[in-house]
Amino acid sequence: MKRLCEARAYSAKPVAACYWASTTDTPELANLTQDINTEIAIIGAGFTGLSAAHHLAKRGADVTVIEAEFPAFGATGRNGGFCCLGGAQAKNAQLDKRYGKVQRLAYRRSEVAAVGLVKTLLAELNLQADTHSSGETLLAHRASDCDSLKNSRAQIKEDYGVEALFHSKSELRQLGMQGPFHGALTIPIGFGLNPRKYAYGLLSSAVKNGGKVFVSSPVIDLKKAGETFRLTTPQGSITADRVIIATNAYAAEDLPDWMAGRFMPLHSSVIVTEPLTPKQIEAQGWSSAQMAYDTRQLLHYFRLMPNRQFLFGMRGGLFSTDRSEAAIQKLITRDFHTMFPAWKRVKIRHFWTGMVCMTRHQIPFIGAIPNLSGAYAGFGYHGNGVAMASYAGAVLSDLVIGGAPNFERPKLLGTQPPKFPLGRYRRHLLAPAYALKYLQDL
């Protein structure tokens, strides 16, 4: 198994102080210690893999999930819990040029469907995932960004079929979103949730419906022999008719070889405070339950959770080392205190990091792996995987089973991601990109 990043990135160290771990128990599951057969094997117990397992098991398929660490170990169990629009980083002009307006609109509506799917799953499975927020609010960190927000409303209406609401700076204070912001735009789609509670609900459903899940069992080799796949782990193996790769940024370059160079891990960091008192909330002027993010390229995202603890995250970071992690922790704390100065003395109880996944064509891939019949993959959600990865898992369940689909897949989501240049050194491309984005944010 060949991985792109430092070994530390795949260890428990970056996620050791994750807030979500304190909110729910990790399911106790067995390691794979024997050779077994299954109809469909899924590598990765994150949103993509667990959603696929849930939908496949409900349809009576013989499905087995194999996880290298514990369920929701990757981005699924360490994200900010924003169930929102997104998944692609490509802008509308790029999508129209490559695929045409019809396909762009089909993709944008799939973003809406992805959020709706998560809402439906929470209700159907009766999951209590600490949901809140009426859509998402984008905050202008520069006065000049307000015109762009206002002008984007017509495009949002065309893409998503909803009316976005602009808020002036004075209105933000009245809405309990006071800070260094010049205006904002609320899109009434999406909500915040506890990602582990949601993910473990999907897992429980898959198992209840006959699915099998094994943990602490990394797949170290994947081979196809005849019509079946053999997945080898340190203590056992799985022989499967079909296989789904659902590892996203934590993927290996050679499982299968087609994955090499087709994904780029990007780092994201999160802090969570102690519970805020009414006095502290009043002092800062942020009492809103809205999930929010700013207009920076290297954005900050944040929300006041139902228990009054404040979550604050940011993009950035190139490598997973003790030194780089310490630098990121210092930077995210500085930015948090700059944006919310009244909370400088509030204790930060949790800090963790993780990796999100980018593709070179800046859209997710959900489809069959070329020249490897029976193999499928879903990855590249660009930091918005709560909804889109869940949707990817549902779409993959359709593709694997065949027949009339239950979930629409816009054609562009089946476009093969081109490889990044520089092979295993491709992360070095991020340094100049981050520098440019930093300058654009000034």
pLDDT of residue 325: 93
- Whole-angstrom CA distances from 194 to 60, 115, 131 are 28, 15, 7
Helix axes 195-208, 47-58, angle to 10 degrees: 30
Q: What is the mean pLDDT of residues 407-416?
A: 97
SS3 419: coil
Q: Could you give the CA distance from residue 150 to residue 183 in angstroms, rounded to a whole number? A: 10
In CATH, 1-131+192-262+359-418 is 3.50.50.60: yes
User: Nearest CA to 228 among 243, 217, 213?
Assistant: 243
Contact yes or no for 4/253 (Cβ under 8 A): yes
> Tell me: the pLDDT tens digits for 265-293?
999 999 999 999 999 999 999 999 999 99
Residue 379 has φ and ψ, to the nearest 5°, of: -165, 170
> Tell me: the pLDDT tens digits for 20-63?
999 999 999 999 999 999 999 999 999 999 999 999 999 999 99
User: Nearest CA to 385 among 46, 26, 66?
Assistant: 46
Q: What is the mean pLDDT of residues 199-207?
A: 98
Say how many C-beta atoms besides its own lie within 10 A of residue 124's C-beta.
12
Going by their DSSP bridges, the two strands 165-168 and 183-187 should be labelled as antiparallel
Give the distance, in angstroms, between the CA of residue 274 and the centroid of all CA atoms in the same chain: 25
168 pairs with which residues across the strands?
A: 183
Confidence label for 393 from pLDDT (cuts 50, 70 and 90): very high
User: Nearest CA to 137 among 68, 88, 85, 73?
Assistant: 85
> Tell me: the pLDDT tens digits for 292-308?
999 997 889 999 999 99
SS3 337: helix
Helix axes 47-58, 385-401, angle to 10 degrees: 40
pLDDT at 442 over 90: no
pLDDT of residue 89: 95
% of the chain exceeding 70 in pLDDT:
100
> Tell me: the pLDDT tens digits for 77-90?
999 999 999 999 99
Q: Could you give the CA distance from residue 148 to residue 402 in angstroms, rounded to a whole number? A: 43
Q: Could you give the CA distance from residue 154 to residue 159 in angstroms, rounded to a whole number? A: 9
Confidence label for 234 from pLDDT (cuts 50, 70 and 90): very high
Confidence label for 424 from pLDDT (cuts 50, 70 and 90): very high
pLDDT of residue 319: 86
- Look up residue 254 and give its two tokens: 């050679």
Contact yes or no for 207/223 (Cβ under 8 A): no
pLDDT of residue 436: 77
SS3 268: strand
Confidence label for 205 from pLDDT (cuts 50, 70 and 90): very high
pLDDT of residue 297: 79
**CATH level 2 (architecture), domain 132-191+265-358:** 2-Layer Sandwich (3.30)
pLDDT of residue 401: 96
Q: Could you give the CA distance from residue 382 to residue 359 in angstroms, rounded to a whole number? A: 8
Non-local (6+) Cβ contacts of 352 within 8 A are 14, 15, 16, 17, 18, 19, 78, 269, 270
> Tell me: the pLDDT tens digits for 324-377?
999 999 999 999 999 999 999 999 999 999 999 999 999 999 999 999 999 999
Q: Could you give the CA distance from residue 87 to residue 413 in angstroms, rounded to a whole number? A: 10
Contact yes or no for 70/24 (Cβ under 8 A): no
> Tell me: the pLDDT tens digits for 112-170?
999 999 999 999 999 999 999 999 999 999 999 999 999 999 999 999 999 999 999 99
Average pLDDT, whole number, for the chain?
96
Q: What residue has token string 């929102």?
A: 84
Q: What residue spans define the domains of the chain?
A: 1-131+192-262+359-418, 132-191+265-358
Report which of residues 440 and 143 the model is more confident about: 143
Q: What is the mean pLDDT of residues 238-251?
A: 98
